[in-house]
Structure 1
Amino acid sequence: MTMKRSVIVIDDDEDTVRLFGEFLEERGIKVVGSGYDGITAIKLYKEKTPDVVLIDIMMPNGSGFYAIKKIQEINSNAKIIAVSGDGSYSTEEKLEKLSIPLIRKPFNMEQIISVING
C-alpha cells in the first residue's frame, strides 16, 4: 500500500480551506492541519511536518511569502504549493525565485492533485 501524502491547507478564506480539505481527503490525501494565516502555517508545519504545504499568498498575520521563507528555513526541501488569486508578475517572479509552483485561483483541483503527487 502506498503511503498517503499529508498536507496542510492554509488560506484566509475558510470556505476555500474547507473545500480543499474535503476534496483532498476524497482523493486519498490526508489533511493533517489547516489554518488561516502565515503564522499558523509555520506553527502547523513545525508540529505536523506534512509532505506538502498548500498556501495562499495574500493573508493577514504573516503573508504566504513570510510563511514560505520561514518554512524553507526549517526545511529547505519542503514541498510548498502557492495558491493565489494574485497572478501579478512580481508575485510570480518571487515564487519562481523560491522554486514554488503557483496555482491560480479559481483553481483546477485536478491540477493541484497532480502537483501534490508529482
Structure 2
Amino acid sequence: MEGKILVVDDAAFMRMMIKDTLKKNGYENLIEAADGELAVQAYKAEKPELVIMDITMPNKNGLEALKEIKDFDPSAKIVMCSAMGQESMVVEAIRSGAKDFIVKPFKADRVLKTVQGIIG
C-alpha cells in the first residue's frame, strides 16, 4: 500500500496502537504528529493520502487543524477520533469536512474498515 497515512494524537500510546493496526494490515507508509500544529506542518510537507486525527490535543486541537488542512487542501481526507461524549465536536468535525470519525476506545477492525473504505 503506497499512500502515506498521517496519525495524529497527543498520546504516543494511541499513535502506536493505530500504527500497529495499520502495519499488520499492509499499510507501511506511516507518519505521525503529536498535536494539531505539528499535524498541519506534516500535512503540508508530506501530503498524506489520509489523516487520522484526535480531536482533543494541546497547542492546536484536531478541529482547528482539520479546518487549516482543509483550507490548504480542500480534497484532504481526514478521519477524526474522539472519546465518548464528544458528539458536538464530532458533528462540527463532519461539517468542517472530516470524512468519518472513530470513537475511542476504538477496535482495530473499526480503524481498518474506515481506512479501507476511504483509501482502499
Moved over 3 A (4+): none
SS at match of 1:19: helix
Letter of the aligned partner of 1:109 in structure 2? A
Residues 38, 86 of structure 1: CA spacing in aligned structure 2 closer, same or farther, 3 A cutoff? farther
CA apart distance, 1:111: 1.4
Letter of the aligned partner of 2:105 in structure 1? P
Q: Aligned equivalents of 1:97 and 1:49: distance in 2? A: 22
Unaligned runs of 5+ in 2: none
2:71 paired residue number: 73
State the identity %.
28
Q: What CA deviation, in whole Å up to 9, does each residue of 1:23-79 have, x standing for no partner?
A: 211111134311110000001101111110000000001000111011101111111
Unaligned runs of 5+ in 1: none
- Please report the TM-score for the alignment, with normalisation by the length of structure 2: 0.88
SS at match of 1:60: coil
Within a 5 Å distance, the mapping from 1:69-108 to structure 2 comes to 69-100=67-98, 101-108=100-107
- Please report the TM-score for the alignment, with normalisation by the length of structure 1: 0.90
